[in-house]
Amino acid sequence: MSIRLRDNRKTEAIRSSVRETELNVSDFIYPLFIEEADDVKKEIVSMPGIFRYSLNRINEELDEVVALGINAVILFGIPLKKDAEGSESWNDNGIIQKAIRYIKTNYPSLKVIADVCFCEYTDHGHCGVLCDNDVDNDLTLINLRKQTLAQAKAGVDMVAPSGMMDFAVREMRDELDKNGFEHIPIMGYSVKYCSSYYGPFRDAADSAPSFGDRRTYQMDPANRNEALKEAQTDLDEGAEILMVKPALSYLDIIRDLKNNFDTPIAAYNVSGEYSMIKAAGNNGWIDEQKVMLETLLSIKRAGADIIITYHAKEAAKQLKKEIRE
């Protein structure tokens, strides 16, 4: 007897009934860039369709996010003042703390996640305190505690350390717990590679390093087994969610984490991945909407339960359109 596998592909009704992976709006987290300024809505040249907003105009974006059914945002701040340690990141009246309070007051249904790092806040663009032109891990942890506590006091729902400092999750979990914020979960940037796909983000957040690169603290793209060690460490230190960043060049790593850990897996569909699709779409080389959905589906199929993506609004519109049709 021969099996005709095409029989399950004859019609959309049949295909949908045997489909193994479904993409849903609830899978998405939408990144927001909030600038400490007045009356700003500024498109990021290298990320068409993505804007930096001042706090007094962020409602223009949030109204649409909520209407589309996207239930979570992750915040990145661009402060007015920067210094060597990134001290504005733990200022109770800093831009992200203000944004957290504003969103929780005016959009209570949204889950607010805050990036916990220093590259947007330091005048040198690196992810912590510098000593001899390299980031000092343990001095940075001291400031990481301060930033985490400031965000918790502002009312954040979840914190996400992106600096790849050793023991970051442990220190943050301890700071949260001892100050009565045991309920705030940590999404670790557990497996964050030193990637060339981050370029447009650095335009968006004014976070490009003023010298060198971040290979002494972010992972080597050649390494796979090390990813499991990094993820296990974050889990042991108290992370509730493990993340892989970037997504597309590391789908094998997403699957490795999914196979090895019984905990939610997030993937960050980063700025370079977004901008390549936008550039090809704008030039008419691809069907942008179809490629976008196929890309996001590949990330979920690889094992991601949560996808942080700049495509979130467009994808939500397309998914709703498919349901209507």
Candidates 192, 258, 278, 313; catalytic one: 192
> Do 36 and 80 meet the contact criterion of CB atoms below 8 Å apart?
yes
Distance, first Cα to last Cα, the chain: 38
Query: Residue 154: which H helix or E strand, with range?
Result: helix 137-154
Candidates 82, 245, 258, 313; catalytic one: 245
Distance, CA of 33 to CA of 50 (rounded, Å): 9
How many CB atoms are closer than 10 A to CB 223? 13
How many CB atoms are closer than 10 A to CB 111? 16
> Do 207 and 126 meet the contact criterion of CB atoms below 8 Å apart?
no
Number of helices followed by number of strands (H, E) in the chain? 11, 12
Residue type, 185: P
C-alpha angle 114-115-118 in degrees, rounded to nearest 5: 135
> Do 100 and 154 meet the contact criterion of CB atoms below 8 Å apart?
yes
Q: Give catalytic status of residue 192 as yes or no.
A: yes
Task: List active site positions.
Answer: 192, 245
